[in-house]
Amino acid sequence: MFKIILFVGSGSFLGGVARFLTSRYIQNTLISAFPYGTFLVNMIGCLLIGIFFGIFEKGNLINTEWKMFLTVGFCGGFTTFSAFANESLVMLKDGNFFYLALYSGFSVFLGILATYLGNMITKLI
């Protein structure tokens, strides 16, 4: 159990650092009231977790520790629902209802679509 905790913790650390750097870069590049950084990080994370679970479905290609590292650890640390919720609240308070609807709708719909596409990619390999 301790070994799995170390794998999850390591993955979370790397995913969190990757999220911070990626989100910061995107947000500084695309100046807007729309939170592109968090949105794109979450879409990339959905695609990745779809790919990872598609690989897992193919058989015993990856052991349990690495599954936990990639999904619970890295993807869990890389994507962020709390930032999504906070940015939505800020848009609500600021009266940016158009961006709020766009962000919420696209995040849910495209997140599920990206996860599905990631899973389908592994079926083609």
In angstroms, the CA 105 to CA 111 distance is: 10
Domain that holds residue 31: 2-124
Segment (H or E) for 118: helix 97-124
CA angle 93, 94, 100 (to 5 degrees): 80
The closest of 119, 122, 118, 11 to 65, measured between CA atoms, is 11
Q: In 30-46, which positions are buried (b, 16+ CB within 10 angstroms) versus exposed (e)?
A: eeeebbebbbbbbbbbb
pTM over 0.75: yes
Q: How many domains does the chain have?
A: 1
118 pLDDT higher than 90: yes
125 has pLDDT over 90: no
Mean of per-residue pLDDT scores for the chain: 93
For 53-108, the pLDDT digits (tens) are: 889 888 888 888 999 999 999 999 999 888 899 899 999 999 999 999 999 999 99
